[in-house]
Structures are given as structure tokens and as C-alpha cells.
């Protein structure tokens, strides 16, 4: 792995939090992601399933984690199953985890090779009454392939039809949404790498560059700072392309007078950062561009103040909508009649700001986290308002990642990344 080793105490704490919420005489199983084929003998780069990484730190394919707090034999209360390595694998694929290194990584004492799973699992299922299956229930999930977890669930239901079933996801939604200090430090590192990329781009952009060249500048800087690359597919959208919310073609030439909306973030140790900045191709905003830019920045700053313990997700977005409505009135994009006659289910401001303001961020860019209960300290959210004006040929979005604190203002993990219009102009013209 490119990233520095993570202390195993983080993963030990995470397992303890999960097991504390398990039913008596129950076990839970977590599988690694598949290695997905592309064609011929090619595969996509492996990325570990976030849940098994969150609970073990194991960043390797064909791995299984089993948790059984009430196991009769204490050594079977936490068990890792790994693909057995050998000299051939070491030569062709590189060294895999040994049992000793797996313990150092995870803090789990009991490590078996994968071929022992069926025997050990059967034995432990004779002690258990309930099995927790790990299903993806994220509110944005879009699963179109059968995963390793899916195959495991199907096979286990057929083999053990008399066991009670439970879901790991509600527990994971709750505990993954509240970050440990070590996780926040890892995300801060990812944000710092993103900052390096952004500052590099500020010195690179000029009329005539191509969007994909800007993408390449980010990728260069991310990888040279121990990131695997982008945390998600980057958006480098110049001119009217910024009004396409998920524009990812990044294949247009940037023209003088245009703005470039860049929604990019580095990953580090599987943790995501998520930044959006909008900059002028020519190094200077026009008066109108700056007017809209400062309106978006004001909404972002005011929205950030609302991220405090006890805030309800739905109410938060309503309040941000009110702030945005006020700014759109000031910009002349809405008038009082638009607001008075608006559809409550699709308020007038949605014409120019049609997406949500915030989402959880962590191991996933759109991370697990409770959305129907009050916000808690150490949750980490993005704040990303935007104003999109196709008729004027530009869209502006600004986004930072912030941590809710027990007391006081949220902590902006991207506080060092330039965002004020004047600072961006100064850096682009220095």
C-alpha cells in the first residue's frame, strides 16, 4: 500500500463498537470485494470493501472477517481468514499478508487460511443462533452486479436455513457515521493532498488548456503524495459544462473568460476527501461571476454554522434553502413572486440549486451515517452549495469537508485550501 501503516487500535475500537450492538449468540461475517474482470486477462484495480477495512484494516482481496462475541472458545470471537501466500504468488503478484502481519495490521490474534473457512464457519454456526449479513443499504446504492457478499449470503441461507437472520447495516450506519480521531486524521491527510493538487492547478490553468490536462495535474500531485488517486471520478467542467452536475467527460478546451468547476478529491488510506472549487480560466472573475461566486460562498459559510450536534438532516436542508433563496433574490435570479408562488415540494431556489447541500464522508465519498436522527459530534459532512445559470454560461459550486464538534464551530478540514475569490485571483496571477 502507498499509505503509511495505521495503528491497529483503530480497528480494535471499531470491532468493539460493532460487537457491543450484536444480539446474544450471534455472529457476523464480512467479505472483501471481488477483483472485477475487464476483458482478456485484465482486471480493475482492487479496492477493498469499506466495511471489512473499517473493522480489520485488511486491505487485501479474498479476505473474510468473522465476529462472534459469545463463541465458547475465546480465540473464535474475532477471526480473520486470508488467502494463503506462497513463493509463486510473491513473485507474480507481490507479497500478501502473513499471519503475523495480519495480526499487526488488525489486532486480531486468530488468523486462518481461507481454505479453512468452511470447516471453522460450520463449527461456529452450531453455537450461534443468529447470523448478521452485510448488505448495502446506503440511500444512494446502485448495485447491478452480484458481489462476494451476495454469493456468501445466498450460500449460507441454503446451508443454514434454521438460523435467525440479522442485518449488519443498521449498526454500521450508526458507528461508521461517527468518526474516531484516527479517522479524522486520515481524512485530514487526504484533504492536505487535495490542497497540494489544487495549488498546483492554480499555477497551471490558463486559456487554451484542456480539461483532461487539469485532471492529469491533480492525479500527478495526488499519487506523488501517497494517494492511490482520486477518491471518486473527477469533474473538471469549464463553461456551460459546469451546469451538468455529473459531468465527467473532461474533454473540452478551457476558453478565456470562462469559469472551471472542479469537483475533485484525493483518497488516502481508503479515506476520501471531497472538494469543489470554481476558478476563472483567465485568472480574473468578471464582476457578475464574482457576485455569484460570493453568494455561493456566503451560503456555504452560513450552512456550515448549522452543522452542530442535535441538528436534524431534513431541517438543515430547509434552512439552507432559505439562505439560498435570499441570495438568489439578491442576484436577481428570483423575484418575490417566484418565492410566494413556489411549490413547497420543489421550492423556487431549486431552479438554480437542485442538489443537496451535504452528505456524510469517510471511507466512502458518500459515506454511511445516520440521516434520520440528530447529528452527533465527530460526524464529518461535506458542505457544497452551488448556483447554476445555463443562460449565463457558467455554474459555481464550492465544497469543503467539516467535522461536527461537541462544542463550538465545526472544524473545516479544508481550511487551508484557498477559497476567497481575491486569494484565488492573487495566486493565479503571482
Residues 171-213 pLDDT 10s: 999 999 999 999 999 999 999 999 999 999 999 999 999 999 9
Which domain CATH number covers 147? 3.40.350.10
Task: Decide if 242 contacts 154 (C-beta within 8 A).
Answer: no
Q: What is the span of the domain harbouring residue 226?
A: 181-428
Q: Which of 310, 216, 228, 227 is nearest to 262 (CA)?
A: 216
pLDDT at 91: 62
pLDDT band with cut points at 50, 70 and 90 for residue 42? confident
**Residue 41 reports pLDDT greater than 90:** no
Averaged over 21-28, what is the pLDDT? 98
Mind listing the pLDDT tens digit for each residue in 268-281?
999 999 999 999 99
Query: Does residue 22 lie in a domain region?
Result: yes
**Residue 94 reports pLDDT greater than 80:** no
Q: Which of 362, 366, 381, 263 is nearest to 313 (CA)?
A: 381
Question: CA 182, 104, 362: angle at the middle one, nearest 5?
Answer: 30
Is there a single domain that holds both residue 208 and residue 69?
no
Phi first, then psi: give them for residue 45, nearest 5 degrees: -55, 135
pLDDT at 59: 96
pLDDT band with cut points at 50, 70 and 90 for residue 424? very high
Which domain CATH number covers 393? 3.90.230.10
Mean pLDDT estimate for the chain: 96
Number of CB atoms found within 10 A of residue 40's CB = 6
Alpha carbon of residue 222 to chain centroid: 16
Query: Which of 156, 176, 196 delimits the end of a domain?
Result: 176
**Which residues on neighbouring strands pair with residue 266, listed in sequence order?**
230
Task: Decide if 35 contacts 61 (C-beta within 8 A).
Answer: yes
Secondary structure (DSSP) of 256-323: TT-EEEEEE-BEETTEE--EEEEEETTSS--HHHHHHHHHHHHHHHHHHHT--TT--HHHHHHHHHHH
Query: Does residue 4 lie in a domain region?
Result: no
Is there a single domain that holds both residue 261 and residue 336?
yes
CA distances from 7 to 4, 10, 48, 107 (A): 10, 6, 18, 9
Distance CA 306, CA 235 (A): 27
Q: Is 141 exposed, middle or buried (0-12, 13-18, 19+ CB in 10 A)?
A: exposed
Is there a single domain that holds both residue 404 and residue 270?
yes
Query: Does residue 214 lie in a domain region?
Result: yes
Is there a single domain that holds both residue 127 and residue 191?
no
Phi first, then psi: give them for residue 127, nearest 5 degrees: -90, -25
**Which residues on neighbouring strands pair with residue 260, listed in sequence order?**
238, 279
Query: Which of 176, 194, 225 delimits the end of a domain?
Result: 176
Is there a single domain that holds both residue 66 and residue 114?
yes
Is there a single domain that holds both residue 127 and residue 217?
no
pLDDT at 37: 87
Cell for 368? 454511511
Across 84-98, 213-227, 246-260, 384-398, least confident range: 84-98
Look at the chain and report how many structural domains it folds into.
2
Predicted model pTM: 0.96
Task: Decide if 82 contacts 106 (C-beta within 8 A).
Answer: no
Distance CA 401, CA 424 (A): 19
Distance CA 18, CA 173 (A): 11
Distance CA 352, CA 243 (A): 9
Write out the catalytic residue numbers: 41, 246, 263, 274, 355, 359, 366, 384, 388, 397, 399
| Helical packing angle, 181-202 and 421-428, nearest 10° | 50
Residues 6+ apart with CB under 8 A from 207: 254, 255, 256, 281, 282
**Which residues on neighbouring strands pair with residue 272, listed in sequence order?**
267
Is there a single domain that holds both residue 133 and residue 190?
no
Amino acid at each position: 500500500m502507498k499509505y503509511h501503516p495505521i495503528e491497529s487500535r483503530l480497528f480494535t475500537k471499531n470491532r468493539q463498537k460493532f460487537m457491543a450492538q450484536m444480539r446474544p449468540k450471534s455472529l457476523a461475517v464480512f467479505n472483501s470485494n471481488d477483483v472485477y474482470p475487464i476483458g482478456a486477462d485484465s482486471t480493475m484495480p482492487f479496492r477493498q470493501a469499506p466495511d471489512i477495512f473499517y473493522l480489520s484494516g485488511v486491505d487485501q482481496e479474498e479476505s473474510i472477517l468473522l465476529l462472534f462475541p459469545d463463541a465458547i472458545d475465546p480465540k473464535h470471537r474475532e477471526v480473520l481468514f486470508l488467502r494463503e501466500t506462497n513463493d509463486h504468488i510473491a513473485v507474480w503478484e507481490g507479497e500478501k499478508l502473513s499471519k503475523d502481519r495480519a495480526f499487526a495490521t488488525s489486532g486480531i490474534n486468530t488468523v486462518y487460511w481461507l481454505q479453512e473457512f468452511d470447516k471453522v464457519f460450520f463449527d461456529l454456526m452450531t453455537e450461534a443462533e443468529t447470523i448478521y449479513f452485510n448488505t448495502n443499504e446506503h440511500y444512494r446504492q446502485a448495485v447491478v452486479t452480484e458481489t462476494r457478499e451476495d454469493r456468501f449470503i445466498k450460500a449460507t441461507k441454503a446451508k443454514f436455513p434454521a438460523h435467525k437472520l440479522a442485518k449488519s447495516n443498521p449498526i454500521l450506519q450508526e458507528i461508521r457515521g461517527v468518526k474516531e480521531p484516527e479517522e479524522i486524521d486520515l481524512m485530514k491527510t487526504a484533504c492536505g493532498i487535495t490542497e497540494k493538487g489544487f495549488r498546483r492547478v492554480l499555477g497551471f490553468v490558463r486559456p487554451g488548456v484542456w480539461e483532461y490536462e487539469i485532471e492529469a495535474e491533480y492525479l500527478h500531485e495526488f499519487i506523488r503524495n501517497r494517494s492511490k488517486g482520486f477518491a471518486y471520478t473527477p469533474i473538471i467542467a469549464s463553461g456551460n459544462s459546469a451546469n451538468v452536475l455529473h459531468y465527467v467527460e473532461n474533454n473540452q478546451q478551457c476558453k478565456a473568460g470562462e469559469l472551471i468547476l472542479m469537483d475533485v478529491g484525493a483518497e488516502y488510506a481508503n479515506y476520501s476527501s471531497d472538494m469543489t472549487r470554481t476558478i476563472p480560466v483567465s485568472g480574473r472573475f468578471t464582476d457578475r461571476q464574482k457576485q455569484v461566486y460570493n453568494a455561493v460562498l456566503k451560503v456555504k459559510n452560513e450552512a456550515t454554522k448549522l452543522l452542530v450536534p442535535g441538528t436534524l438532516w431534513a431541517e438543515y436542508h430547509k434552512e439552507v434553502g432559505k439562505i439560498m433563496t435570499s441570495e438568489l433574490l439578491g442576484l436577481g435570479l428570483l423575484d418575490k413572486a417566484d418565492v410566494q408562488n413556489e411549490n413547497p415540494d420543489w421550492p423556487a431556489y431549486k431552479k438554480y440549486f437542485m442538489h443537496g447541500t451535504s452528505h456524510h464522508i469517510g471511507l466512502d465519498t458518500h459515506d454511511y451515517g445516520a440521516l434520520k436522527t440528530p447529528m452527533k459530534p465527530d460526524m464529518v459532512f461535506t458542505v457544497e452549495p452551488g448556483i447554476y445559470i445555463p443562460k449565463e454560461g457558467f455554474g459555481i459550486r464550492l465544497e469543503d469537508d467539516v467535522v461536527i464538534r461537541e462544542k463550538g464551530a465545526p472544524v473545516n478540514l479544508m481550511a487551508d485550501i484557498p477559497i476567497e475569490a481575491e486569494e484565488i485571483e492573487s495566486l493565479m496571477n503571482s
